[in-house]
Every structure is written in structure tokens, then in C-alpha cells.
Chains A and B, each alone.
Chain A
């Protein structure tokens, strides 16, 4: 069985996570699009922390008999990997877009320079 102390600690931790994510979205430091995975992570961990029988049953299915909270860590880790993978794709896209922006800006700048007379003033 899951020790009660662990359930309580895990519940508090998941609630904290949810609260922090909410505050980040509210203050516009995190976009909803990138917050969804975090919210799902927090919710899943919260449910499994509070619902102790559920965690025990789930652990038994996975063959974890000695220490059910290990499943909590495993799930937490799984979600962290998911979030990281998601961020890798996001960063890749940002890099591509950044290249396009730099190119467009450089082309624009060269065009503007060509049109500008060398002497100052309009």
C-alpha cells in the first residue's frame, strides 16, 4: 500500500504545479498552447495522488507490488519526457522561422539601402 505521507506530499506537489502553471498563463508568461501538457501532467499526478486505491490497482497491473508510489514517479517522468520532446519540436520550428526572418530582414535592408541616396536628408 501507498504510505499516507507520500499521498499527501504528492497531492500538495501536484496542486502547486497546477497553481504555478495557472499563474504563469494568467500573467502572460506562458501561452495556453504550451501550458496544456503541463496541466494534463498536474491533473494526472493529482488524481493518482488523491485516489490511493487507483494508484495501488494501477501499480498491480504494471506488476509493481512492493512500492506503488514508484508508479507516480514513473508517470511523472514520462510526462516530463513528453514535455521535453514537445519543446524540442517547438524550438526546431522557432529556429526555422528565425532563419526566414533574418533572411527577409537582410533582403529588405539591402533594398532600402539601394534606394537611399548616399547623402543625408530627404
Chain B
């Protein structure tokens, strides 16, 4: 049994890469940004299926995405980024996708840079590739507090991973089927990127980073404010600490 038995959801035949691939796009009230993101995803690779998870959006996010041909999953209420993304991973797993990319619905991830993010996964060199804002020279402007937080987390996770990671809060990622199976089962809820990486490390998932540049949000505000950052930092550090002592979950695996 291979993935060929899965129903062919993709309309267009895959061009260069023969993998069944999907873009997972979590979006919460992003009606002004989501359209452009989806257009750019199509421009990058027409054979890339797109799943938008509208995380309890109260605006037209879901209908805008549907009008552009995306498969839309509407969550009945806001689950938070972790719950939304995990829904997408579940879908990707059940539909038999072999390659998934995560692109945020707010437009800060530039789909034209996906080629670099996907490459190590396609080459079989890594299970998860993270697009890092700090691996290259590309500048990233943000509040000082937030940058310090990002740095601290990167340092802590690098220690745990015994591998230099520069941007553990980046949601711009590419994952192979093994990693999809892991995150479909368990993805930390509140701040999934950091904890998810640590979890992946403990499962001996191979990580890689590639430099990317991210864009400023065009419309609307980020979901994380200044005061919330402190709260999040405390919570993440606690979670990371406790996570080290946790039993590992059993990831989903294909029957052979």
C-alpha cells in the first residue's frame, strides 16, 4: 500500500517534484492578507494543494480562501495557532501527503522563498526544515523585547538539540511524512513552533535551517502583544523544562 491509493485530490498533475505536497495555512481573521498568500502559493507551484484552517475567524477569511480554490477547514471557535496547525497536519496525514509546508495566513512568509525551504526535505537530508530569519543576513525588525525572547528561546533549544538553531519561533517550515505523522498526533497548543521542535528533537527527527527573509504584516496586528510575550516566555520555558521529562508520544506511521 502506498500513497497512490489515496484519492487524487490535486487537480493538476505534479510537474517537477513527484511528491504529493500541500501547503498548510493557518489563518485567524486574515481576509485582507489571505488572498495574496494563496495567489503567491499558486504562482510558486500550481501543483501544490492548499489547505486553509480558519481558526474561528469572524471575518470573510474562509470564503476568500474558498473563492481561490483552497480547501478550507473552518474551526467552530478559536483554538489558537497550535490547535489550528495540528488540524492541518491531521488532514495532511489522512490525505496521504508526503510533503507539507507551513505558511502563515498573515502574509509574513513569502511563498517565493519556499523552494529553499523545501529543498533539504526533498533531498532527504532533513525531516523538518525551518526558514530562519536570523540564519542569513536578512534583517528582521521587531520590538526589542520580542527579539530578546526569540534569541533566548533559540539558545535554549540549541542546547537541547545540540545543534545550532537560530530561529525556533518561525512557522515557515517544510516537513516530510514522518514529521507530519508526529505533529498530527501531538503538537503543543499555545506556542507550537518552539515546543514542537524540542519534541521533534526528542524523536530524533532531523532538523535543518535555511535563511529566509520575512515580511512585515500588511494588514492587522500580530496575535502576540508585548505583555503577552512575557507570559508566553514563562510558559514556554516551563513547557520546555517539563517536556524534557515527558514520555514520548507514539507518532502515526503508515502501514506497510
Contact = CB atoms under 8 A, between A and B. Distances in A.
Main secondary structure of the interface of A (DSSP, over half): helix
A26 B234 CA distance: 16
Interface in A1-38: 22, 25-28, 31-33, 35-36
Interface string A79-97: 0000000000000000011
Given A26-B245, A32-B190, A100 B76 contact: yes
A104 B189 CA distance: 23
Size class of B's contact patch? 10 to 19
B242 A33 contact: no
Given A26-B245, A28-B246, A104-B76, A36 B190 contact: no
Main secondary structure of the interface of B (DSSP, over half): loop
B76 A39 contact: no
Interface residues of A, number: 16
Interface in B205-256: 234-235, 238-239, 242, 245-247
Contacts of B77: 96-97, 100
Interface of B: 76-77, 189-190, 234-235, 238-239, 242, 245-247
Closest 5 CB pairs of A and B: A25-B242, A32-B239, A104-B76, A100-B76, A26-B245
Interface of A: 22, 25-28, 31-33, 35-36, 39, 96-97, 100-101, 104
